[in-house]
Structure 1
Amino acid sequence: MLRVVLSRLLETLPVLAVVTLAVFLLLRLSPGDPAATLAGDSATPEMIASMRQKLGLDEPLSVQFGSWIAQLARGDFGISILSQQPVLTMVGQRVEATLSLALVTMVLAMTVSVPVGILAASRQGSAFDRFIMAGTVAGFSIPTFVVGYLLVYIFAIQLRILPVQGFTPIGESISRFLSHIALPTFTLSLVYIALFARTTRAAILEVLSEDYIRTARAKGLGEIAILTKHALRNAAVPIVSVFGIGFAMMIGGVVVTETVFNIPGIGRLVVEAVLARDYPVIQGVILIIASVYIVINLAVDVIYIFLNPKINY
């Protein structure tokens, strides 16, 4: 186990290096100048040049990149150009909202999709199976912002049973936390329920065609026991893989949902930083999200070993 973890960590170093270089170059080579934004619309060229010098943007790209890498080596992700706050502090202020939304969405998606996928596979070709498959297609096809605005119209404007926007930390009030997180969770979970249900169904169907399943049925084992103890356990590897990838994507892809429901999370922080050309914030957040991907993939690899010790790394 330790060998697997160490080897995976070593393999991620080149990935992080490429991500770091790509983020730095894409930001520096894309249109826009944070110095001009900071100086204001009425700033003269001399004022903009002075601001660029103050921010260190007049240095060669190699010098800027080297300075950033040196900061990262010390655990310093830089200072925001606009707010003059440390990037890690800004991320820390936003991370609870994003993690809360992602975790609640993942729990809901897993709770609904796995049983639905198992039932659809056990009744392949039935009306229920066709209904579930049609529902997953709709879940993939409808844009997230459309679902969000539709839910706001129904539950917040018409029925007035849930708030339109905002976020309340769970430590302040559990009831307010649940009421604020409900609509964003339902909005974001639709596509993941569709993805996980289709994945579960496909994995279960593949396992149900195996000889040991037919043997279990021949011995008189009940269908529920076959599906839960034999089929689901042996189909768990691809399902866990999709869960891991889905959770990583969710952390980095909540921008639309956070914008629709005005949630002060990491997604909105990235949008605000991009609009303001706040290089340190954009670089820091993307690097943190890339690290989250790596940690989740590492966790999935470890889970693989527990689910199937025969997997050879």
Structure 2
Amino acid sequence: MGANRPRSSSISSIMTTNGANPNPNFDVHTLYRIKTSRSSKKLDHFFGEQIPHDICIKEIKKEGLKALLQSKVPLCYFLYHLLEEYSHENLFFFIELEQYETFQYVSRVQQLATAQHIFNTYLTRNSHFEVNLDDKVRRTVTDAIQRKDVETCFETAKRSVYSLLESSYMRFMMTDSYHQMVSTCGELTTHYPDETRFAAVNVLLGYIEREHAMIYTNPLTDAPVFMSVSQTTKRRHELIKSMLHEFCRTLVGVEFNYYRHDPNDGPLPLSSAPSSSSAEATPRSPQQIHQQQRSPSPPESKSPKQHGKSKFDFLKKK
């Protein structure tokens, strides 16, 4: 976790605020996910192919977080809000656990390795994507993995992080990002055109651009006293950038090539990604996603303009 980074609310603080039960709506979310999945399968069966079905804004207003988490395009705006409040790891962790539960593993050994990888990424102290959960929850997961209880090892952690997301969702509804989501997506649309999907991805790209400018054009980042902090911040930024790329590619079906952008060149190039239009169409294991999240180190020069349009290869391993 980056130095001096504000921490998101912990599950214990939410329990203190909301009462004894930290996850009153989690079971409802699970039932809603099953219902939504069945509806999508019925549509696919009726049309004879996979339909790019999404959740409309009216449904999100009615059902709240559980509907938003099943969406694709609207979820981009919620992710942007989480990035702004430094709690995006909660959503990444939750999505990974959803995939972990549904992925078809070839063996228990593979599933155990994936579980350990998820734990190392999100529940290890000072990891880049550490989720702010209680030690009791961490110990519960650790004990379950040691017992090789791969089916239910993350159940407590998933319930806890869902409560954190509920708290973030309540704040999200009061933001400009929420109103932008409503106005851009429309009330009843369930099949978003390219223009709407690109607009949602551009919101996330705006965050990347802003963070890039702050990190790579700050003269203090090269000062010896800030060097170690700077390298940690840069590494975290590259990982977030890679995760956003994978999020947009697999969930939203939009591929983008990120380079050190000259504002005079106009917006970043976007393109549809037909080979992976949705997470359901192309299931991927959490381990596959994290194996591909490593991105090259930034070039030595800190000036975006000096690099023109040399592209980053997000999926290239060091």
State the TM-score, normalizing by the size of structure 2. 0.24
Greater C-alpha radius of gyration: 1
TM-score using structure 1 length: 0.25
Say which structure, 1 or 2, has more relative contact order (CA 8 Å, 6+ apart).
1
Structure 1 or 2: more helix by fraction: 1
